[in-house]
Amino acid sequence: SPVIVWFREDLRLGDHPALHDAAATGRPVICVWVLDEKTGRAPGGAARWFLAGALESLRDDLAHHDVPLAILSGDAQTLITDLARRCKAGDVFWNDRVEPDQAAQDDRIEKALEQDDIAVHRSMAMLLRRPGVLKTNGGKHYQVFGAYWRAAGSAGDPPDPLPAPRKLQGARLPHLDANIILDPASLRPSHPDWAGGLAETWEPTEDAATERLAHFARHELSDYDGRRDDLAAGGTSRLSADLRHGLISPRQVWQATQSTRARASGFLSELGWREFSYDTLARTPDLASSNLRDRFDHVKWRRAPAELKAWQQGRTGVPIVDAAMRQLWQTGWMHNRARMIVASFLVKHLLIDWRAGEQWFWDTLVDADPANNPVNWQWVAGSGIEATPFFRIFNPVLQAGKFDRSGEYVRTFVPEIAKLPDRALQTPWEQPDDVLSRAGITLDKTYPRPIVDLKGGRERALEAYKNTEPA
Ligand code: FAD
């Protein structure tokens, strides 16, 4: 009888324990992927665009082995149990998910399959370690990243990644009703098709992810710490969407960095933040909707739809914020330093609820991640388990002076002010008329004045956040 491999957030052939173990049975293989929008968080727009390409590419890669990939949409429990019965599969293999609703669904499906005498084989491939494995001496979950990551270091290296199976034998798919088949192309936007910039920026295939990793490890990793915060330098790996959708595995990333390990510790600790975020998600089903520190339930967020919209559209009048928000809209990605700047601006200067920003990122990031996104938003807001202190409010102009020194980042994404000289670029509203007119700028017409007074916004935030401090 055939075996089934259920692909999920692991759209690759390399380091795929489920596929590897299925191939080792020597039996014919059927592969399946399911879009179940009712379990866990339905993917946002940019992530759907990325998924479409990743699924098409996985289908092609499996087709080279004559293995079919059924791409389905609907309730995963019904679809998987039905498929297993209809093709008389003896075994189902998958790599576990961590998001609590999805993990609970996995347990239910395992039970249902076992009642039909179908064996389920589960592995962990999306993280270096299963969540919850690392605990403090008192048996508690870590609340602080530094301690968590030190414990991870003492626990030893993760296992080496598995090779892609060399030999796979496909089985025929049973007849599938048209109403459960999902054409991946339908995940792309069409009316209007806003994804042109995404297509220019990303190639969502396992091959491209593997190449990006190799290039980063060979040429950029050694200078990661020196260049990671430079907004225009492109000194980071840009592997976040590949990791999110599993076109590459964290163990593959770990292994690729080992030859320069001494200098890779800064980069590896970012991978550690990903582990720590998932460790938190595994036991926090409402991570994206509730403050981890309930003192933040008392903050009086402002309802300011026009300001939220100006932030979303990159029209706040603060160039570094606008450049970052436009980078996000145009490319589906934003530099980490810029994510911190725009999140702080929204939550503190505008005093708008972090959940509104988190949701916008969820819809617009190709790497929108159910763990990393809310954990980082809560970190910036101060409501997270380990968070910035409430009085730490980024001054966007000072941040721009440090991390966009040449102005290249702002000039790329806010071209209408590109002709301003360096010293004026980050503060157009402070410039005399002659400087503005020489650069072809009329404030409020070519480019807006700031929607918030930076000093006043800071003071308002400090006042509103006062009650979040322990007495
Ligand atoms: P690199 O610097 O090359 O890092 C390597 C990998 O480590 C990343 O691909 C990512 O998987 C992981 N990583 C890096 N920084 C972090 C971090 N702070 N927390 C958790 N994991 C990290 N990352 C996402 O993957 N998805 C999100 O939805 C997301 N939302 C964020 C929201 C805010 C407000 C902030 C401040 C950060 C967010 N991050 C998110 C974390 C980080 O900004 C991105 O992972 C990073 O910018 C991706 O670029 P890179 O792959 O070049 O990163």
What's the CATH architecture for 127-160+205-283? Answer: Alpha Horseshoe (1.25)
Q: What is the pLDDT of residue 81?
A: 98
Measured in angstroms, how far is the CA atom of residue 270 from the centroid of ligand 1? 7
Check whether 271 is labelled as a binding-site residue: no
Distances in Å between the Cα of 368 and the Cα atoms of 334, 361, 363 are 11, 7, 7
Of 213, 209, 204, 212, the residue nearest 253 (C-alpha): 213
Residue 112 is assigned to a ligand binding site: no
Q: Which two tokens stand for residue 95?
A: 């790599």
Which numbered atom of ligand 1 lies nearest the CA of 375?
19
Query: CATH classification of 1-125 is 3.40.50.620, yes or no?
Result: yes
Q: Where are the domains of the chain?
A: 1-125, 127-160+205-283, 294-466
CA of 89 to the centre of ligand 1 (A): 39
Structure confidence by residue, pLDDT tens digits, 237-247? 999 999 999 99
Report the alpha-carbon distance of residue 410 to residue 426 in Å, rounded.
Answer: 8
pLDDT band, residue 262 (cuts 50/70/90): low
SS3 56: helix
Residue 190 assigned to a binding site: no
Q: What angle do CA 113, 170, 246 make, to 5 degrees?
A: 70
Q: How far is the CA of 240 from the centre of ligand 1 (A)?
A: 6
Residue 238 is assigned to a ligand binding site: yes
For 154-192, letters b (16+ CB in 10 Å) and e give: eeeebeebbebbeebebbebeebeeebebebeebbeeee
Q: Average pLDDT of 261-290?
A: 92
Count of alpha carbons within 13 angstroms of residue 309, beta-carbon side: 3
| Three-class SS state of 343 | helix
User: Closest Cα to atom 23, ligand 1: which residue?
Assistant: 372
Q: What band does 261 get if pLDDT is binned at 50, 70 and 90? A: low
* Sign for the pseudo-dihedral over CA of 384, 38, 334, 354: negative
Tell whether the model's pLDDT for residue 471 goes beyond 80: no
Chain position carrying tokens 């001054």:
395
* 237 assigned to a ligand binding site: yes
Ligand 1 atom with least separation from CA of 228: 2
Q: With a cut of 70, say whether residue 123 has pLDDT above it.
A: yes
Mean pLDDT rounded to a whole number for the chain = 95
Residue 271 Cα: closest atom of ligand 1: 7
Q: What is the pLDDT of residues 432-449, one digit of tens each?
A: 999 999 999 999 999 999
Say what the pLDDT of residue 419 is. Answer: 98
Calculate helix-pair angle for 265-282, 145-154, nearest 10 degrees.
Answer: 110
- Closest by CA to 93, choosing from 168, 178, 184, 143, is 168
For the stretch 320-362, pLDDT in tens is 999 999 999 999 999 999 999 999 999 999 999 999 999 999 9
> For the segment 353-403, what is each residue's pLDDT rounded down to a tens digit?
999 999 999 999 999 999 999 999 999 999 987 767 777 899 999 999 999
Q: Is 156 in a helix, a strand, or coil? A: coil
Using the predicted structure, report yes or no on whether residue 74 has a pLDDT greater than 80: yes
What's the pLDDT score for residue 147?
A: 94
Residue whose CA is at the smallest distance from ligand 1 atom 14:
270
Residue 265 pLDDT level (bands cut at 50, 70, 90): confident
Mean pLDDT across the stretch 183-203?
96
Name the CATH topology of 294-466: DNA Cyclobutane Dipyrimidine Photolyase, subunit A; domain 3 (1.10.579)
Paired tokens of 258: 């080992």
> Could you give the CA distance from residue 451 to residue 445 in angstroms, rounded to a whole number?
14
Q: Angle, to 10 degrees, between the axis of helix 396-403 and the axis of helix 336-344?
A: 170
Mutate to test the pocket of ligand 1, among 41, 270, 335 (most ligand atoms within 8 A of CB): 270
Q: Is the pLDDT of residue 46 over 90?
A: yes
Matching residue, tokens 């039970």: 111
Percent of the chain at pLDDT exceeding 90: 94
Q: Is 214 labelled a binding residue?
A: no
What is the ipTM for the molecules in this complex?
0.99
Can you tell me the mean pLDDT for 90-106? 98
* Ligand 1, CB cutoff 6 Å, lining residues: 228, 236-240, 243-244, 270-271, 273-274, 277, 336, 339-340, 343, 361, 365, 367-369, 372-373, 376-377, 380
Pocket test for ligand 1, best of 240, 248, 252, 347 (most atoms within 8 A of CB): 240
Instruction: Please tell me the distance from the alpha carbon of residue 147 to that of residue 273, in angstroms, as a whole number.
Output: 12
* Res 468: pLDDT: 80
> What are the phi and psi torsion angles at 82 (to 5°)?
-65, -45
Pocket test for ligand 1, best of 223, 267, 367, 377 (most atoms within 8 A of CB): 367
Indicate which residues carry an active-site annotation. Answer: 270, 273, 301, 336, 354, 377
pTM of the complete model beyond 0.80: yes
pLDDT, tens digit (0-9, with 9 covering 90-100), for 277-295: 999 999 999 999 999 999 8
Of 299, 371, 373, 304, nearest in space to 343 by CA:
373
Q: What is the mean pLDDT of residues 95-119?
A: 98
Which atom of ligand 1 lies closest to the CA of 367? 26
